[in-house]
Amino acid sequence: MKILVLNSGSSSVKYALFEDDKQISNGLVERVEDHLATIKEILGNIGKVDAVGHRVVHGGEKYKNSVIIDSDAIETIRDLISLAPLHNGANLAGIEAVAKLYPDITQVAVFDTSFHQSIPDFAYTYAIPISFYEQHKIRKYGFHGTSHKYITNEAGKFLNIAEQNLNLITFHLGNGDSVCAVKNGKSFDTSMGFTPLEGLVMGSRCGDIDPQILIYLAKQKGLSVDEIDKILNKESGLKGICGSSDMRDIEAKAQNGDKLALLALDIFAYRAKKYLGSYAVALGRVDGIVFAGGIGENSPLIRMKILQDLEILGIEIDEQKNQVRSREPFEINTENSKIKILVIHTDEEKEIAKQTMRLAGDN
Ligand code: ADP
């Protein structure tokens, strides 16, 4: 079965072509102005496919799983644009372009949020007046779900533990960063919230801060809503602290003694360590900690900074194993560590292809 995976962003379209579960090609079109023309060109180049799987950022509370796209799904994705204005609109443009060009192709939507729909109410409800949830659906949704789900599956296979018994703490550390507490194979809590701004320190997003800071900036400093939005999403995080959002650059600067780069690394790792501790307590038992994403997979330094001095949890990292580089899953804990520590290459496109094949195959 030939599956095209599409990630239609506001100004770019990423694609990957799968023959069953093997990726055979991929590509990225940038500076996209017209999704229809771009997707026509992509489909023209790769030829006929059996199904198309779309990354869709927001599935709201309706989608606990991936779905075959029909007119009802299109309307729901459209309704959810208000919750993810930058993403869902572009995702929908991709879906509508394929529908227009090839009305008979089965299309599947795979949502970043759906893995997290298992989070219990006491973990997803914010302590603000309940009417904001009831009327405006303001709650934690969580994102990066496709990646957390994929690495949960891979960790289960590696550890040889059935998913329904598997408790993990999964870190997806890239430009955007999130951590998920996985209980019995399902998401129990995650660091991103109503939007992907909450939680860990990211490339240019602040993660958790005192919300009163926003009010202070508006009232005392006269900043507009748009200015605050830009500061928190584009000018904060690692970039806000040391001027760079790229972990490789920051590590290089820190090696040369740059104080702000060193501080950025400490802040990043300390925030991650605090989430690790709170999720270990929330889960009660942890079988494994997993690192994925550009930073999680490639930075022994960050892994070490997050995991060192965690005897309280029985975590022991093996310095030698931590230096290994591989696309295959590997273990970086010592023999004595009470919790396994794994590095797993995440593959969101492969997960989307898998889900698409499952649903389109049944169709
Ligand atoms: P995205 O979230 O956009 O998919 P990635 O998962 O590719 O991004 O992660 C990008 C981040 O990974 C960047 O901060 C980059 O510097 C970091 N990274 C990639 N390789 C390394 C490395 N060898 N050491 C440290 N950080 C790395």
pLDDT digits (tens, 9 = 90+) for 79-118: 999 888 778 999 999 999 999 999 999 999 999 999 999 9
pLDDT digits (tens, 9 = 90+) for 38-91: 999 999 999 889 999 999 999 999 999 999 999 999 999 999 998 887 789 999
Three-state DSSP state, 229 = helix
Q: Ligand 1 centre and the CA of 247: distance in Å?
A: 6
The pair of structure tokens assigned to 240 is 């806000």
pLDDT of residue 59: 95
pLDDT digits (tens, 9 = 90+) for 180-215: 999 999 999 999 999 999 999 999 999 999 999 999
Ligand 1, residue 250: give the atom nearest the CA.
16
Burial class (CB in 10 A: 0-12, 13-18, 19+), 207: buried
Phi, psi (5° rounding) for residue 277?
-65, -45
Indicate whether 266 pLDDT > 70: yes
Higher pLDDT, residue 148 or 84: 148
How much is the CA Rg of the chain, to the nearest whole Å?
21
The pair of structure tokens assigned to 220 is 């005392």
The set of catalytic residues is: 112
Q: Ligand 1 centre and the CA of 307: distance in Å?
A: 19
Q: Is 12 in the pocket of ligand 1 (CB under 6 A)?
A: no
Number of neighbouring beta carbons within 10 Å of residue 24: 11
Q: Is 14 in the pocket of ligand 1 (CB under 6 A)?
A: no
pLDDT of residue 361: 86
Indicate whether 363 pLDDT > 80: no
Return the percentage of the chain with pLDDT > 70, whole number: 100
Instruction: Fill in the DSSP letter of residue 333.
Output: B
| Sequential DSSP letters for 158-223 | HHT--GGG--EEEEEESSSEEEEEEETTEEEEES--SSTTSSS--SS---S--THHHHHHHHTT--
Question: In this structure, are residues 282 and 188 in contact, taking their beta carbons and an 8 Å threshold?
Answer: yes
Q: Ligand 1 centre and the CA of 326: distance in Å?
A: 15
| Sequential DSSP letters for 233-285 | HHS-HHHHHHS---HHHHHHHHHTT-HHHHHHHHHHHHHHHHHHHHHHHHHS-
The span from the CA of 4 to the CA of 16, in Å, is 6
pLDDT digits (tens, 9 = 90+) for 23-39: 999 999 999 999 999 99
The span from the CA of 121 to the CA of 139, in Å, is 9
